[in-house]
Amino acid sequence: MASVVVEDAELLLDLLNTRPIVNGVANDRLAGAAGGRWLGAHGLPDSPADAAAARRVRDAIAAVLRGRAGAETLQPLLAGVSRTPVVEPAGVRWELHTGPAEPFGVRCVLAWSRLAESLPGRLRPCANEECGLFLLDRSRANARLWCSMSACGNRLKARRHYRRVAGRAD
């Protein structure tokens, strides 16, 4: 079960990071041929409907994580989902039934929920507003700010330093 949780967390992070901002323009890696490759690499059917569903899930969870929407906006992604207990010799196992909901969307919302419960506040947007990516902070201090120190952290630190130095020169 633990490996499924980690796998789903990585899937969710990978999904959220399919919309990076490159040179000031949002780049959708779920569109076109790249979207088909992304879906295929994650064991999903490569169809326009599946790509559109993945974009809806990504955008809804990203809006919640950015504070632009409340968690209740994820409820429609779980429409018709239920769990049924199944008794086995080893104990009770819970079987998930997605009903009319998209199984991929359900998996992502459940991954978001498990992360919010087990690692509260650690799945978050990069502090570089020009980036658009997300990070999962696994550090002990929960102090990580950037998706990548080399890509975002150094740039922002260099800008702050330049502003400080330029301010002294005035």
12 token code pair: 């969710």
Query: Contact at 8 Å (CB) between 58 and 19?
Result: yes
d(CA 42, CA 47): 13
Q: What's the pLDDT tens digit per position in 34-85?
A: 899 999 999 898 888 899 999 999 999 999 999 999 999 999 999 999 999 9
Q: Is pLDDT of 3 > 70? A: no
Between the ranges 9-13, 97-101, 159-163, 165-169, where is the mean pLDDT highest? 9-13
104's CB contacts (< 8 A; 6+ apart) are: 44, 50, 53, 54, 57
- What pTM, to 2 d.p., does this model score? 0.83
Contacts 24+ apart (CB under 8 A), 79-83: 81/106
pLDDT at 1: 43
